[in-house]
Every structure is written in structure tokens, then in C-alpha cells.
Structure 1
Amino acid sequence: MSISADRRRARILAEVQRLGSVRVVSLAQHLGLPAVTVRRDVAALADAGAVDRSHGSVSVATSRDARPADGPSLGLLVPAVGQYFGEVIAGAREAAGHAGAHLVLGISSYEASADRDQIEKLLRSGVEGLLLAPNWLPSDQPDTQAWVCELAVPAVLVERRSTLESPAAALDSVSSDHHHGVLAALRHLSSLGRSHVALVARRDTWTAHQVRSGYVGGCELLGLTAESVIDGVGPQMDAEAVADQTIRLTERGVDAVLIHNDQDAIQLLPILRARGLRVPEDLSVISYDDIFAALGAPSLTAVAPPKKAVGAEAVELLLRRMAGGVAAPPVRHVQLLPTLTVRDSCGGPAR
């Protein structure tokens, strides 16, 4: 049975951290994975600064922002490396380097049970503060989040916000305001005369829940018809089936679609075109993430959460918290606003 890229990369990183340095071919054999797949995952980990690679080998990242003798060590827990969280990591790493701090990465692979294990490993490595993107959903019970308040070092939530009734609300947090991002997309569609908007949604992740709730609230606020949510889309998306559902919705009057995320939108465009549905003439399309959106055909109008800025702001907030001492600063819940980049996939006003 195949495993997800997130799980593979978590396994690869754990093995590299155990061995210190290993040839990619040997790593692939040890993990029982194709060498080409391991090379691709190692490249993603290297781009995120989690490992170094050179001449067929991979090793623990050390070089570019190695910690000064007196610099603090910060742990960063993320559910995945690559795409979305790759940019968060890059922002955190850059900010830590500028501050003379050292960043240690843990990956929990979107499994709630892995969060505590990874945090224990980070703490054993000697980190003095934690940046946490735990496997939470807005629907979680408040008491399931309380454990993050019991950690022995200061912690800041990254791209997560606790419920107000949870003890974790007492922690600092930095996140993207996805409701604002979705509203910006819907407002642009409305300005073009599009009034029947569908949502193609990813599976249950924190961002997916925020996009869904932002879609419902934004359509209500702007007087748009929230036609339908094409649900259950994930990394193994059945693009043909999603295209079929999208076409059926256009037959019922849908004239625009918001797709979470870029990868799914880019897969759908050529299928829709092959079946006679023109973008943007028949259907305006906006994607959510803006990682690959400019590479679509046509290029995709897209919402970009401020991923790198979230990582950088979280590091700065954690360092302030660690330096606060007795006169600790007040708790901050920071939300950064996504931006909308208009490209070719929306067209002009609807006829």
C-alpha cells in the first residue's frame, strides 16, 4: 500500500537525523522506497532547509544558518514539508537565522498521535522554545488542545488558533486570515458579475475548514449563491470525477468556482477544456494557495496566504516571549491577511 508524501518525508527526515549522513540510494533501500521517489522527497526537504544534499548523499542541515555558541534553539513542528508548509518553514528559518537562532524541524504527518512524539524528540534535542502547527481541526473539543499548555518551554501556535474556551487560547498564535482571503476572491468574482459560485474543497485540514466556513460566510455577506461544495478532494484526487461534477453544476447555472488548492485547479483545467467548457468564458476560476497558480493554462487568479510572513512573525513572537522573563508581554493572536493576484482565469464581466 502506498503512503503519502508527508509520511514518506517524515520517515526520511527521521532516518537522516538518526544517521547524520547517508547516500540516497542506501536510504531508499533501507526504507523500501523507489530511489526516484526518495530523490524527489529529499529535494523537497532540502528546499525547506530540513536537510543538506550533495553528490548523491543527504545529511542533517547545518550549514547556512548554524547556531552561534550562545544562540537559542527553536523547535518547529509542522504536519508536512513541501508546498504550503515549505514556505512557512522558509520564513521561520530566515527569521531565526537573522536573530542568531537555530531552527530544528519536526514533522508529524497529519496524524494527531504523532504530535506529542515529535515534540518530545524536539525537547530532547534541547530546544528552548516551540513553534507548533499541531493536527487540530476547528471542530475539535477544547480539552483536546489543552496539552500544549503543559509544555516545559514557551510555545507559539503557527497557522492554528485554539477555540476561545480552550486553555490553549492563552498561547500566542500567528495565522493567515483565510476568511479574509476567501472573501477577497468572492468579492472579485462578484465585481465581474458572477453570482453562482461553487467550491471545490480539500479534505479535512485546518486550512480546508477555514476556506469552507469563509466561503459560506462570504457568499452570504455578498449576496452570492453558494451553489455547492464538491467535497472529499485530496492528494489522490479523481480529477475526471470532479470535472464531471463541475460540468453538472454549470448546467444548473454555476458561473464561477473557487478551488482549494492550486494543484487541483491545474489538474482540472485541461479536462474541463477537453469537454468543451471554456475558462474563463463559461466559468471563472480562482484557486487558493498561489504556489503553482501562475503555471496554469490559462494562468490562475489566486489567493496567496502570507505563508513566509507567518513563519517569520511566529519566530519573532516566540523570541519575544522567551526574552520576556517576569515582565512577559501580553498574549498576542496575530492574523495576517492573504492577497489576491488577478490573472487570466476569471475574464471580464459576465455576459
Structure 2
Amino acid sequence: MTAQSLLPRARHEHLLRQLELHGSVSAAQVADELGVAQVTIRRDILELEKSGLLARVHGGAIGVSAAPTPQSARTDIGVVVPSSVGHFPVIVKGMDAASHALRVRLILATSQYRPDLERRQVERLVDIGVDGIILAPTLRGRTEAELLEWVGTIPVPVVFLERRLRSTGLAAFDSARTDHAGGAVLAVEHLAALGHARVALALFERTPTAPLVREGYASAVADLGLEPAPQVSLPKDDEDDLDDALTDLLDRCVSTGTRAALVHTDVHAARLVEMAMDLGIRVPENLAVIAYDDDSAALALVPLTAVTAPGRDLGQQALRTLMDRIAEDDAERSAPRHLMMGPGLTVRSSCGAAR
């Protein structure tokens, strides 16, 4: 798409992004960057001001938080995620970073992976008058049909976060998620490029991410023609059971000549490295390790190469998607938006590649 053909939404997102980064924008500068007439940008600024997303000043605009007498109404957004640790805090921080320019108040609640608590949290948010909800639903203990029946009763717009939902009914809702299968492919391809013909897999099965990692891993192994390698499921809570599973993986790697492993999550990968070193298996010299998740990977005994989710960007885009939906006229409702963002690979010491 050329600059001349940029849709209004793309221009609006550019304006809001520049406001978020710099606090103010010049209409002339933005027009030059996008290759459009200044009058077009001034009209965009006027439209965004009417929506309460910025404040006009001579020659451009400033963020509403910087305006001396902001008149626009605040939008209250509820965010319900399973946990306040691990994967989701970075996503929420991304939402918070975007919330100031959008004049949004975020209200955070956690479900602890309990459908009953999740329902109560959403009910509380609706009762206090939120304008929309970003929801990472708990999938354990309920079918997608049951989830659809419940979410269909929520009287405000909902954006699903970090969930692949296959139901046709659920596909009618907006969503934003990471391409976790693609992240696994990225990791296996990297290890194969380093010369590994076999890549083991360890999965923490309790998370919704695990099936997607397995799917991507299987696809990459098949596409690259890699040899069969050990695969283990990691137990949920018991530390002794976890150590037994990781010991089994290490024993099978040694017996099959497997010298590389993809381990989900980074917490489990860090434990694997410690146990390997206790057994005289050096990382990465004898075993290359890539962690899936990058919440604490850099702090491991051997800093872990890790699949890094686009958490902050994903949070920002999820919030903007919900704000767009809230601003729509019900009579002209647009098609559902399903945003999927690719993760990256952060290379550290554990895989043996140059950083």
C-alpha cells in the first residue's frame, strides 16, 4: 500500500503512535512522513479530538494527558487475565503504555485459571460500568460452546487475548494473540541451522500455549526432515515429579545422541540446565537449549536463548482494537478483527550460537 492510499485508520494509528512516543505531533511533519496533504492530517486530528484521543494545538496536536483542560470523556476498560505473574504482566504494561494517549483507565482483574472466578470478575467490571473488556479466558473446565454462551451475554464489547478459539461463534469476536506455533518453528529452525539433526521437546502441559508449541514443533521437524527425538510432558506442581521428568529427558537425550532441546517454559528450561550441569552435561557444549517464553530466561545459570513473545506490542494492539470497536456505530459494525503477532528469538548463551 502506498502512502497516498493509506486508509484513515492507518493514519490515525500513526498519529497516536507518534503522540505516545513524543507527546506532540506536527501536522506538517506527519503529512510529509505519510506523503499526504496537510489538510488531510488536520482533518484526522479533528476527528481524533472529537473521539477524545488527542487535543488540537496550533500546527498539530498533543496527547490528552498533556492538554491543560482536557474535556474528553475517559473510557474505562476491564482486563481479565489468568495471572499477575509470568506471561501476562508484559502484555498489560503494553496496554498501560497506550492507555494515556487513548485516555483510557485500565482496571485489572485476575481469574487464577478458574472459570467461576473469571465470571465473577467480569460481572464486577460490568457492574461498575466499564466500556469494554479484554479477556484471556480460562479454557480448562469448559467447552468453547459454554464459553460462547457466557460471553454472548456480556453487554459490552469483548476482545479475546492470547487464545486460539476455533468455534465459529467465538470467531465473531475480536481477538489478539501470539503465533505460538510459529515461535516453536522459529526455535527448531534455529537449532537445525546450528547443525542439530534431532531436537527434543519438553512441554508444560497445563498452559493453553503448550498445544500450539507442540503443533509448531511437529510441523518444523517434518518440514526440515529431522530425526525422531525424545519428547516429555512436564507435570504441574510436584517438584519431585518435575525433576523425574527432566531427568528422563536428559537420559533419553544422552542415549539417543540428541544434543538440542526446546523446553516450555523458561522456568523449566532453567531447571533443566541446572540438572544437566549436575550430571556433567554441559550447556551448550553437550546440550543446546532454547526456552519457550522469555520472562526470566536471561537470569538462568546459563542465560537462555528464548522465544520472546511480542507482549508489549500485543497489549497495545489489543487495546486499540477494543477502542476501535467501542467507537463504532452498531448499525455499521465492521468485520471481526483477528490479530496474530509473531514472536522473536532472543539469542543468548544456551544454544551455542554467536549473540
Q: CA deviation at 1:242?
A: 3.1
Separation (CA, whole Å) in 2 of partners of 1:68 and 1:229: 58
State the partner residue of 2:165.
162
Separation (CA, whole Å) in 1 of partners of 2:143 and 2:163: 14
Contact 2:247 2:275 in 1 (8 A): no
Q: CA deviation at 1:141?
A: 4.0
**Equivalence map 1:99-248=2 (5 Å):** 99-136=102-139, 141-146=143-148, 147-163=150-166, 165-234=167-236, 236-238=238-240, 239-248=242-251
Q: Residues 107 and 287 from structure 1, CA distance in 2 versus in 1: closer, same or farther, beyond 3 angstroms?
A: same
Give the residue type in structure 2 aligned to 1:158. Answer: L
2:98 to 95, 99, 115: 95
Report Cα offsets for 1:24-67 as digits up to 9, x if no partner: xxxxxxxxxxxxxxxxxxxxxxxxxxxxxxxxxxxxxxxxxxx9
Q: CA deviation at 1:69?
A: 6.9
Q: Secondary structure at the match of 2:243?
A: helix
Report Cα offsets for 1:124-151 as digits up to 9, x if no partner: 12101010100026x9644123121331
State TM-score, norm by structure 2.
Answer: 0.74
State the partner residue of 2:326.
322
Q: CA deviation at 1:94?
A: 1.7
1:343 to 316, 340, 348: 348
Instruction: Return 5+ residue gaps in structure 2 as ranges.
Output: 1-69
Q: CA deviation at 1:227?
A: 2.0
Q: CA deviation at 1:77?
A: 0.7
State the partner residue of 2:301.
297
Match status 1:331 vs 2:336: yes
Q: Residues 102 and 348 from structure 1, CA distance in 2 versus in 1: closer, same or farther, beyond 3 angstroms?
A: closer
Contact 1:149 1:171 in 2 (8 A): no
Q: Over the residues paired in the alignment, what is the CA RMSD in angstroms? A: 2.1
Q: CA deviation at 1:237?
A: 4.0
Separation (CA, whole Å) in 2 of partners of 1:80 and 1:120: 18
Q: CA deviation at 1:307?
A: 1.1
Report Cα offsets for 1:213-256 as digits up to 9, x if no partner: 22222211221234232213335544531331122112122221
Give the residue type in structure 1 aligned to 2:248. Answer: Q
Separation (CA, whole Å) in 2 of partners of 1:229 and 1:307: 27
2:88 to 74, 79, 85: 85
Contact 1:159 1:310 in 2 (8 A): no
Separation (CA, whole Å) in 1 of partners of 2:184 and 2:92: 23
Contact 1:91 1:311 in 2 (8 A): yes
2:284 to 240, 260, 280: 280
State the partner residue of 2:271.
267
Separation (CA, whole Å) in 2 of partners of 1:277 and 1:190: 20
Give the residue type in structure 2 aligned to 1:336. Answer: M
Aligned residues: 281
Q: Residues 102 and 284 from structure 1, CA distance in 2 versus in 1: closer, same or farther, beyond 3 angstroms?
A: same
Report Cα offsets for 1:175-231 as digits up to 9, x if no partner: 000011110000000001112111111132211221122222221122123423221
2:260 to 252, 256, 260: 256
Q: Residues 236 and 81 from structure 1, CA distance in 2 versus in 1: closer, same or farther, beyond 3 angstroms?
A: farther
Separation (CA, whole Å) in 2 of partners of 1:332 and 1:205: 24
Give the residue type in structure 2 aligned to 1:118. Answer: Q
Contact 2:306 2:345 in 1 (8 A): yes
Contact 1:159 1:175 in 2 (8 A): yes
Q: Secondary structure at the match of 1:227?
A: coil
Contact 1:156 1:314 in 2 (8 A): yes
Separation (CA, whole Å) in 1 of partners of 2:270 and 2:234: 17
Q: Percent identity?
A: 34
Contact 1:142 1:167 in 2 (8 A): no
Contact 2:83 2:112 in 1 (8 A): yes
Separation (CA, whole Å) in 2 of partners of 1:125 and 1:347: 52
Contact 1:304 1:339 in 2 (8 A): yes
Match status 1:309 vs 2:336: no
Contact 1:68 1:101 in 2 (8 A): no
Report the more deviating stretch, 326-335 or 189-198: 326-335
Q: Secondary structure at the match of 2:230?
A: strand
Separation (CA, whole Å) in 2 of partners of 1:204 and 1:318: 28
